[in-house]
Structure 1
Amino acid sequence: MHYGRFALGGFGPLMVEATAVSPEGWISHGDLGLWDDAHIQGLSRIAAFANAYGATPGIQIAHAGPKASIRRAFEGNGPLDEGDAARGEHRWAVVSPSARPVAQGWLVPGARGQQDLSHPRRALTYRSRQTCSRTAVARGWHAAQRRWRALLMRHRCAPACRFPGARERGDYGF
């Protein structure tokens, strides 16, 4: 009912944030996803409720890149560890443009090859983002914002914008 409260409160636009396009791009165990048909029914109910009360539902399609597989924000946003695994919240594979972790102690991402990065249509999540966006709009969402470049492609930024402690350059100049 979290999002429903905003619709009931008279909000115009209602944006559901950071909905992952793939299991590798999921931020934490507490975040939404849209990579599986099993996710569609629950998200459709949110959109239908918002529409029924006059809100305009939107959904942010995202990929966490090297910042995936972390704790929820209220648990510290750090990488998952053995304590989390004991509670049933296990780590998952992380992918990014380079094999450089966010910081010491974080998971080392699986670097994507040049063929995956050379053109957006060959990028890791391109088809996933397109499919998720179309699925969301077809299920009652009025807008689908794609937020993947800031997370997945962060390594392309200027040195001042890179992850803290990032010094070396990957195969692609990141």
Structure 2
Amino acid sequence: MAEITQSTPPAVNRNNRRVAFMGLGIAMGMVGLAYASVPLYQLFCQATGFGGTTRVATESPKGIIAREMKVRFDSNVANELPWKIQPAASITDKIGTVDTVNFVAQNLSDKPVTGRAIFNVSPEKAGAYFNKIECFCFTEQTLQPGETVDMPIVFFIDPELDSNNELDTIKEITLSYTFYASDNEGS
């Protein structure tokens, strides 16, 4: 008895390859978006103040108003970062005043360690009005073995906060930092 073989027409093979390449392209696109989602989300938050993210200011506010606001500072250190962080003391000042405070960081290890800080503001709605002119959080920080450094923050609260009725009862803002080890080794 003769064996019957069926061959797949060339048009079907081309369609199968096309579907396979499209599926592979979609999968690669999804992986790429997954990696890009964190920096894109961070850019969105910085632009809108969403999630308590502060804004970066290039200039001082246009004025100071009589309303005062207490700003409290908080810090957390990830387990893999051998640093001790002392947050700045709370301050109370008129809204619109440019203030400078210092966090103090100490490297507790016997080797250089590079770290980075991420931040947020609570209440979240106040983040859109919290502006940093200068901050250690803008770049990675490398501390040498046993080194202790002052890490400044220069900031102001935008007087526009006073025109937001949802924030009329807010008397205190908390700026919180979480410090974690950078992927870069110390220098």
The question of a shared fold, defined as TM-score above 0.5 by the shorter chain, is answered with no
Q: Between Structure 1 and Structure 2, which shows a larger proportion of strand residues?
A: 2
Normalising by the smaller structure, the TM-score range is: under 0.3
Normalized against structure 1, the TM-score is what? 0.21
Normalized against structure 2, the TM-score is what? 0.20
Q: Between Structure 1 and Structure 2, which shows a larger proportion of helix residues?
A: 1
